[in-house]
Amino acid sequence: MFVSFEKVTGIVLPFFIMVSAALLSGQQTPPANVNQLVRDVISNEVQSENSDQTQWMYRLQRQEGARTTVREVVETKDCDVHLLLATDGAALTPDQRQKENERLEKLKHSPQQQRKKKSEQQEDDRKAIEMFKMLPDAFLYQYRSNKGSLVDLTFHPNPNFRPPTREAQVFHAMEGSMLVDAQKKRLVELDGHLAQAVEFFGGLLGHLDKGGHFMVKRADVGSGHWAITVLNVEMKGKALIFKGINLNQKDFSSDFHSLPANLNVAQGVDMLKTSGFAQIAARDLPSSRTAGNRVGR
């Protein structure tokens, strides 16, 4: 039976138009000003960090060289407290459990230790916020792609920016990619590498080699609270940037649970000893081999 060209096109063409429209409807046009988008995202991040006073309990798996540890972390109003659950996939021995218990009890009854930990954590938080704030000015951004509200950008150092601190100097030497949620105005992922070596006072106070890698992933872990879920730092050199971060470190955070407001250290320690030691007894622990499949605020 002969089918006319007009009949074929009358059937196929509308179908082709419908499919094309469906594909295009899932896409969004690129943002008119990517630098302004970054500025809006960072402004919202800083505001959210200042207003979000919630406290959380979560599982932290850390790789440092060949060593892998698993900890349960509890955030309190005084300082964060943690309990070591496993090392290299093996649960703690009775002797190690006893030492962990003694360490927690010492922290529980030492306001001086608590103040020191809180001071160190606040200093790292302050540096992180300052680095967040410099993102819109320290780099120049280009649009690469988007899927729904997620916008993928590339970035490279802004030659007109002058880093005010050592931390900013390291950060400014990076180039890479950034993923943001344009609808929620949140930073989803930052992946960068050192495009050039960094020296402090001609290397006298430390240096970092070209090619070092830094990557962070963030997600909504519940109730609109965004936290770091993956942190990967691979640097070669000698420099102290953050007290809580080494030059070669991989963190994977999971199992977030919100906690009552104004939780203090004593309550946090008791919570860890109840739930953490129970997990050790039950061997409910990830092995070091699963580290790649899985940090706090």
Residue 182: is its pLDDT beyond 70?
yes
Q: Which residues contact 179 (CB under 8 A, 6 or more apart)?
A: 150, 151, 152, 153, 187, 188, 189, 190
Q: Note the pLDDT tens digit of each residue in 211-223.
A: 999 999 999 999 8
Please say if the pLDDT value at position 283 is more than 60: no
Give the model's confidence band at 3: pLDDT under 50 very low, under 70 low, under 90 confident, else very high: very low
Residue pair 200/182 in contact (Cβ under 8 Å)? The answer is no
More reliable by pLDDT, 256 or 246: 256
Digit-coded pLDDT (tens) for 121-144: 998 888 888 888 999 999 999 999
pLDDT-above-90 percentage for the chain: 60
Tokens in use for 244? 């809580």
Closest CA to 185 of 46, 24, 56, 296: 46
The pLDDT of 237-266, averaged and rounded, is: 84
Contact 235, 247 (CB under 8 A): yes
**CA–CA distance, 23 with 30 (Å, rounded to integer):** 16
Check residues 247 and 22 and name the one with the higher pLDDT: 247
Label each residue of the chain as H, E or C.
Answer: CCCCHHHHHHHHHHHHHHHHHHHHHCCCCCCCCHHHHHHHHHHHHHHHHHHCCCCEEEEEEEEECCEEEEEEEECCCCCCEEEEEEECCEECCHHHHHHHHHHHHHHHCCHHHHHHHHHHHHHHHHHHHHHHHHHHHHEEEEEEEEECCEEEEEEEECCCCCCCCHHHHHHHCEEEEEEEECCCCEEEEEEEEECCCEECCCCCCCEECCCCEEEEEEEEEECCEEEEEEEEEECCEECCCECCECCEEEEEEEEEEECCCCCCHHHHHHHHHHHHHHHHHHCCCCCHHHHHHCCCC
Query: What is the rounded CA–CA span in Å between residue 86 and residue 67?
Result: 11
Mean pLDDT for all residues in the chain: 83
Can you name the residues that pair with 212 across neighbouring β-strands?
none
- 294 pLDDT tier (thresholds 50, 70, 90): very low
Mean pLDDT for 250-265 is 94
Residue 240 has pLDDT above 70, yes or no: no
**285 against 173, higher pLDDT:** 173
Q: What is the pLDDT of residues 36-93, one digit of tens each?
A: 999 999 999 999 988 998 999 999 999 998 899 999 999 999 999 999 999 999 988 9
In this prediction, residue 25 has a pLDDT band, given cuts at 50, 70 and 90, of very low
